[in-house]
Amino acid sequence: MPEGPEIHRAADRLHAAIARRKAQGVFFAFPHLESFASELTGRRIRGVEARGKAMLVRFAGDWTVFSHNQLYGRWLVVKAGSLPDTRRSLRFAIYTREHSALLYSASEIAVLHDGEIDRHPYLARLGPDPLAPGVGPAAVARRAATPRFRRRSWASLLLDQSFLAGVGNYLRSEILFFAGIHPRRRPADCSPPELQTLARAALDVTRRAYRTGGITNSSDRVTKLRRQGFAFRQYRHAVFGRDAEECWWCGCGLRRETLAGRRGYFCPTCQPATPG
């Protein structure tokens, strides 16, 4: 499933293509949304934004289309009049004079008034989004230390969209590696400096993945590995997907375990289960 950085980049592409343009046509595949097509046609698109793993397309006149891609959904932007070569099923489309913004395969689409956005069940439970402006590490560290979250393992907490919005499986492993924290530890087991380090890593790693198009490894390490001839899939992550390979930092064998129901990766030396 695409994670926050991928959704935010897709929102940027969409925004660049259709923001401030007039929707010449709007299409919804789901019968219960069909009547909104004529309501939205002719309206100007105010902008496109991501929240966690959801996308909001804002139309003039207090209308917003919410979509969540789940596993298979995909946005494509093409020049007006052309159709992408795909066998996926089209679920929602916005046609402007210059571009078509096409959403394929997504199962969760809703048309909302602006006032309903914060009450939408998915959006209402989202925690702070590391890619939203103004989210800082102190607030994230404080959040982890609250009674609601502190006794859950980091492995489970980092997948919970109500803790941090947009973090998913690859980001989880990478954040914990750069924080030096074992995935089975809990905020309650961490010292205040460790909580700060984890919070800083959660923001830094997510923002790096957004800037680089999914690379979470440190830029120094990426430069070094590229120079040594390593391919993208090898230098992209520090630990995610690298089981049975060596840690770039300490040379230890990396581990893969099922953590909170999903595959997780870590270095047993850089992320000790019992530090100190």
**CA-wise closest residue to 91 among 34, 39, 28, 35:** 28
**46 vs 61: CA distance, rounded Å:** 9
Q: Choose, by CB under 5 A, the member of 42, 249, 255, 263 that binds Zn ion.
A: 249
137 is known as an active-site residue: no
Catalytic residue among 9, 46, 53, 208: 53
Instruction: Please spell the DSSP secondary structure of 145-178, one letter per residue.
Output: TSTTTTTS-HHHHTT-TTTSTT--HHHHHHHHHH
Binding test (CB under 5 A) with Zn ion, winner from 41, 218, 234, 269: 269
Q: Tell the smallest beta-carbon distance from residue 268 to Zn ion (Å).
A: 8
Among 11, 26, 176, 247, binds Zn ion (CB under 5 A): 247
Binding span for Zn ion by CB under 5 A among 15-23, 31-39, 224-232, 250-258? 250-258
Measure Cα distances from 37 to 7, 33, 92, 176 in Å: 24, 7, 10, 44
Give the H or E element holding residue 18.
Answer: helix 4-18
Give the nearer residue to Zn ion in terms of CB position, either 149 or 248: 248
Task: Quote the CA–CA distance of 238 and 216 in Å, as a whole number.
Answer: 7
Instruction: Pick one of 83, 138, 250, 273: the residue that binds Zn ion (CB under 5 A).
Output: 250
> At which residue do the structure tokens 């070094």 appear?
224
Task: Establish whether 268 is a catalytic residue.
Answer: no
Comparing CB distances to Zn ion, the nearer of 25 and 180 is: 180
Q: Which is nearer to Zn ion, 101 or 254 (CB)?
A: 254
The answer to whether 22 is a known catalytic residue is no
**Residue 124 main-chain phi, psi, to 5 deg:** -65, -30
Instruction: Supply the minimum distance, in Å, between the C-beta of residue 164 and Zn ion.
Output: 24
Q: Which of 226, 246, 262, 275 is catalytic?
A: 262
Q: Does 50 bind Zn ion (CB under 5 A)?
A: no
Any contact of residue 218 with Zn ion (CB under 5 A)? no
CA angle 126, 131, 134 (to 5 degrees): 90
User: What DSSP element (H or E) covers 26?
Assistant: strand 25-28
- In angstroms, what is the minimal distance from the CB of 178 to Zn ion? 11
CB under 8 Å, gap of 24 or more: what pairs does 217-221 form? 217/174, 217/248, 218/178, 221/248
- Please report how close the Cβ of residue 221 comes to Zn ion at its closest, in angstroms: 12
Catalytic annotation present for 3: yes
Q: CB count, 10 Å around CB of 63?
A: 18
- Decide: is 181 part of the binding site for Zn ion (CB under 5 A): no
* 268 forms part of the interface with Zn ion (CB under 5 A): no
Note whether 273 binds Zn ion by CB under 5 A.
no
Which residues bind to Zn ion, rule: CB under 5 A? 247, 249-250, 252, 267, 269-270
Catalytic residues: 2-3, 53, 262
